[in-house]
Structure 1
Amino acid sequence: MPEFSIDRSWLDEVVREVVKQVLETVMELEREVFLAEEGGTKNGYYERGLVTKPGPVRLRVPREREGRFHTALFAPYQRRTEDLEALALAMYAAGISTRKVGEVLGHLLGETYSASTISRMAEEVLPRLEAFRKRPLRQRYAFVYLDALFVKVFREGEGVATEAAYLALGITEEGHREVLGFWLLPTESGTGWGDLLLELKERGVEEVLLFVTDELSGMETAIKRVYPRAHWQLCTVHKVRSTLRRVRKKDQEAVLRDLVSVVRASDRSEALRALEVFKGRWADKYPQVVAGWVQHSAALLRFFEYPKALQPVIKSTNLLERMIKEVKRATKTRDNTFPAPDAVLKVIYCVAEGYEARFQGRKLRGFQQAEDELRAIFDLRYPRA
């Protein structure tokens, strides 16, 4: 029987092309997300090399006109993905099994990593995770976003249960993002958030201008109990979505137009006039829906009391939602079930660490124009002795 052999050079060329296409696609998506969040314009590409097991590849790396965008796939000027632990944990956080992580590292870096090796790497995250969750925080944050997602967790002797993963994102007075904490509790409640806010205070957070949350019962009470001088902004996106679910399909488009007039008004007076129009048009047909907007109008329109440049990012929890979506992607890959509570926290930690690294040194959009106004609000709300 004649021997059959594979042309290894042809196979390596195919693998290199696949690696090139995947990496360039990811970088393109990264740039799209960056431009959507931070603004700016595309500025073509530049070429750089990356060493892989099948051989070197030439990549077209996207650029942004002001040079603020950098892909998270590799550090600028790095020529080989050498930080194996970080790479392995990033794939683990994305929901890839430990066996698959080992295979991918083997293809990219020319080494074989067993599932047990990757598992040990993940276990070594725990001390860093705990240090991250207990680290001292700043005294002052301009804005704090609070939200939760639900995950299925297996607990020994109890089986699988749906639990709430709480997340808190802070924006410093200089405009930088910090993940303040994440916790796993049986369910989401105002009481639960109150206890977690006390923990943030114990870790050093004394002064907050504004909390941005969804419409959870007891949330405003919990905030005022711990931070009586802070304001509460009810997420307008959550409120609009919940409203549309409570009106008939044939009315949804017209109701949405009226609500957009409220939340996109140029100032508070215009928003209140638009709210009166909404009330007059729909109060008879949807009395409870309209009453909910009127009752919470102060919290829904609180963003008008802050600098105009920052209003788009404080009228909703979208900043935190982007991070939550990353956690959900990992959850979905794991068929929505985690083998233990620690597994949930490890994934959130990996996502949080990557989130902070991605935005390190970058101010939130609008802060450059709003610094003086924010400082005046802080001085008025929290006067120094």
Structure 2
Amino acid sequence: MDQDTLQAILREAVRGTVAEVIQLLLHLDQEAFLRENGGRKNGHYRRTLQTRFGQVDLAIPRDREGRYYPSFFVPYQRRLVDVGEVAIALYASGVSHRKAAEILGLLLGHRYSHETLSALTDQVLEAAEAFRRRPLPPEMAFVYLDGLSLKVFQEGEGVVRSSVYVALGVSPEGERRVLGYWLFPSENATSWEGVLRELRERGLERVLLFITDGLPGLAEAIARVYPLAQWQRCVVHGVRWSLGQVRPRDRALFAEELKRVYEAESRAEALKALEALREAWGARYPRAVGMWLEDSGAFLRFYEYPRELWGYLRSTNLMERFIREVRRGTKVRDHKFPSEAAVYKLLYLESERQETRWGERRLKGFGEAREKLEKMLEERYGPLTQRLTQNS
């Protein structure tokens, strides 16, 4: 392949990337407009835009009232894309500052240093801090707690491994919300208790169920801060740990019998299946089986809630989907960050992006279960209006 052909191929690939970036900005711009001004989406119209790499076809979003027009499409202006907006969108998508500078250079025909791009994305730090400290609704049906590990540069220590804590709430209506994110040196129950107390201070007082992994001391920390809430231990984490205690040749059969426990039609049937598991495997794998026997109440707590929601409550999978998206943004950085501020920037941008997506539809099953959940909250905590009056 000669050099001219290769350049043409690369140019076409970059043109496609340019179109994707601008299309993403259009989506974010309209979402911001509708949040501020109200209104509803109303499809799109087609428009072409000339760039350094040729013409790109775009779908320009519309609103029903006809008030929205892309804020960065200024008539007769030579540059139709705002550098800061593109930089932030690229950073949120997991592109490093250095790579983002290269893309902007190709897109706009001007060279930008990665230091300049870092300064542009720093404008989100104030918004990120406000997001972390924003007041919370007084109640959530369910709260998921989980974390991930990252490498962060610390002055005087170099690059050290740190733990990101994330709290995700689901309302009785099925609306998801990032309640907060925190950075700590390691994951432990003491730090989680501090997180829980902060959630309470920011307004979250009524929770039916916390869903977490089996971190030692976490259940006790939840009980101290939210004594009326219940705890569900993640079944998926439990299965993974148990299978790690089982010989490879026995894993398929063990997993099948274990599945009968957490996929039973009722708690009574689950307990029968658990007894069958003990009889079949207890002598051979006492630790793997013993954990389920000892924590059966926490593993099977979801049976006390509406059947429509069991799939959400058995595990932290709902949270892990969010964390998976965060990891996509860290992967290109080799999970390394130059500062804590850089971590908070990424977490904020991903939280905003996900909450925008979640706002378009609620979780299935909550429409049928909403009244049951509200009744459970009232029975456990009293009427919400009464509680708010007492606290004011």
- Using the size of structure 2 for normalisation, the TM-score is 0.80
Match of 2:346 in 1: 347
Q: Is the 8 A contact 1:47 1:58 kept in 2?
A: no
Query: How far does residue 380 in structure 1 lie from its aligned partner after superposition?
Result: 1.0
Range moving further from structure 2, 196-205 or 85-94: 85-94
2:332 maps to amino acid? T
Q: Describe the superposition over 1:22-55 as per-residue Cα deviations: whole angstroms up to 9, x where unpaired.
A: 78xx9xxxxxxxxxxxxxxxxxxx9955636134
5+ unaligned residues in a row in structure 2: which ranges? Answer: 25-43, 64-68, 74-79, 387-392
CA RMSD of aligned residues (A): 3.0
Match of 2:141 in 1: 142
Q: Is the 8 A contact 1:49 1:56 kept in 2?
A: no
* Cα distance in 1, alignment partners of residues 242 and 123 from structure 2: 45
Q: Is the 8 A contact 2:45 2:61 kept in 1?
A: no
* Cα distance in 2, alignment partners of residues 175 and 13 from structure 1: 45
2:270 maps to amino acid? A
Match of 2:172 in 1: 173
Q: Is the 8 A contact 1:164 1:186 kept in 2?
A: yes
1:53-64 alignment runs, 5 A limit:
53=51, 54-58=53-57
* Cα distance in 2, alignment partners of residues 319 and 22 from structure 1: 27
Match of 2:253 in 1: 254
Match of 1:14 in 2: 12
Match of 1:202 in 2: 201
Distance 1:76 1:158, change over 3 A: farther
Residue 146 of structure 1 aligns to a residue whose secondary structure is strand
* Cα distance in 2, alignment partners of residues 85 and 306 from structure 1: 46
Query: How far does residue 329 in structure 1 lie from its aligned partner after superposition?
Result: 2.1
Q: Is the 8 A contact 1:263 1:301 kept in 2?
A: yes
Q: Describe the superposition over 1:151-171 as per-residue Cα deviations: whole angstroms up to 9, x where unpaired.
A: 111111112211111000011
1:175-324 alignment runs, 5 A limit:
175-324=174-323
Match of 1:71 in 2: none
Match of 2:158 in 1: 159
Residue 302 of structure 2 aligns to a residue whose secondary structure is helix
Q: Describe the superposition over 1:51-75 as per-residue Cα deviations: whole angstroms up to 9, x where unpaired.
A: 361344347x9xxxxxxxxxxxx85
Query: How far does residue 315 in structure 1 lie from its aligned partner after superposition?
Result: 1.0
Match of 2:66 in 1: none
* Cα distance in 1, alignment partners of residues 106 and 292 from structure 2: 55
Distance 1:55 1:149, change over 3 A: same
Distance 1:382 1:55, change over 3 A: same
* Cα distance in 1, alignment partners of residues 315 and 287 from structure 2: 22
Match of 2:376 in 1: 377
Query: How far does residue 17 in structure 1 lie from its aligned partner after superposition?
Result: 6.6
5+ unaligned residues in a row in structure 1: which ranges? Answer: 27-45, 62-73
1:378 maps to amino acid? L
Query: How far does residue 343 in structure 1 lie from its aligned partner after superposition?
Result: 1.4
Query: How far does residue 93 in structure 1 lie from its aligned partner after superposition?
Result: 3.1
Q: Is the 8 A contact 2:19 2:57 kept in 1?
A: no
Query: How far does residue 336 in structure 1 lie from its aligned partner after superposition?
Result: 2.3
2:309 maps to amino acid? L
Query: How far does residue 254 in structure 1 lie from its aligned partner after superposition?
Result: 0.7
Match of 2:93 in 1: 94
1:3-42 alignment runs, 5 A limit:
14-15=12-13, 18-19=16-17
Distance 1:230 1:84, change over 3 A: farther
Q: Is the 8 A contact 2:105 2:111 kept in 1?
A: yes
Range moving further from structure 2, 367-376 or 216-225: 367-376
Query: How far does residue 260 in structure 1 lie from its aligned partner after superposition?
Result: 1.2
Query: How far does residue 117 in structure 1 lie from its aligned partner after superposition?
Result: 3.1
Residue 290 of structure 1 aligns to a residue whose secondary structure is helix
* Cα distance in 2, alignment partners of residues 22 and 328 from structure 1: 21
Residue 129 of structure 1 aligns to a residue whose secondary structure is helix
The count of residues paired between Structure 1 and Structure 2 equals: 347
Note if 1:356 corresponds to 2:351. no
Structure 1 stretches of at least 4 aligned residues deviating more than 6 Å after TM superposition: 9-13, 20-23, 76-81
2:12 maps to amino acid? V
Q: Describe the superposition over 1:85-134 as per-residue Cα deviations: whole angstroms up to 9, x where unpaired.
A: 44422321333222321332454566665433321122111111111111
Distance 1:10 1:164, change over 3 A: closer
Q: Is the 8 A contact 1:94 1:333 kept in 2?
A: no
